Amino acid sequence: MANSQSHNNEWAELRRNMIDRHIRPRGVQDERVLAAIRRTPREIFVPESLRASAYEDRALPVGHGQTISQPYIVAYMTEQLAPTEGCRVLEIGTGTGYQTALLAALCKEVFTVERIEALQREATARLTSLGVTNVHPSIGDGSVGLPEFAPYDRILVTAAAPRVPAKLVSQLADDGRLVIPVGGRHEQTIVRVVRLGSRHVETPLLACRFVKLIGQDAWTTA
């Protein structure tokens, strides 16, 4: 038991260091977001062979041609999403479930879509092991969203699209917010979209590099 507690303390210290060295100094200041990152064991969301690198500020491969985003980008996009306790959120790209876990800690309800069944299954098992109960996972084409459960207060996309998918914008509630990487195959920009009635406003934020969003309203090939 003592060894287990010591190991947990080491991971907690690495989380604190990650926040203090790589996230807060680069401008992420939302205390709710930082607290969620501090509480969420990122090490269980990366392949076991890479756990020693879980708190390095870089993306890591997770199999199936996918990655878990670098911690700073995860924190930045979450802050730009401006999640609140009462939000219903749609996440496009469950991946390993790390971003999902953060959203679940910050919001009322999370609907998450993943196109790769093995990733979704593994992510769901991790979330269950943490006692997360407010996440609704599904398999499908994230580029078209989940219209059957719309509208959403927030939508977060963790893969890059060539343009902002119109079907996702249409599923936002009025004054709802979408955060998504948009651009070419190799370089993109994180874009914040706010729906204002029948129109929406797009604001480019930060250069980035993500895996592609594959689907009907995004890239059609990997």
Give the Å distances, CA to CA, from 89 to 70, 188, 210.
21, 23, 21
Of the CA atoms within 13 Å of residue 78, those in its CB half-sphere come to 29
For 39, residues 6+ apart whose C-beta sits below 8 A from its C-beta are 105
Catalytic residues: 69
- Pair of tokens at residue 141: 């084409």
CA torsion angle 131 134 138 144 (round to 10): -140
d(CA 196, CA 174) in angstroms, rounded, equals 6
**Measured between alpha carbons, how far apart are the two ends of the chain, in Å?**
46
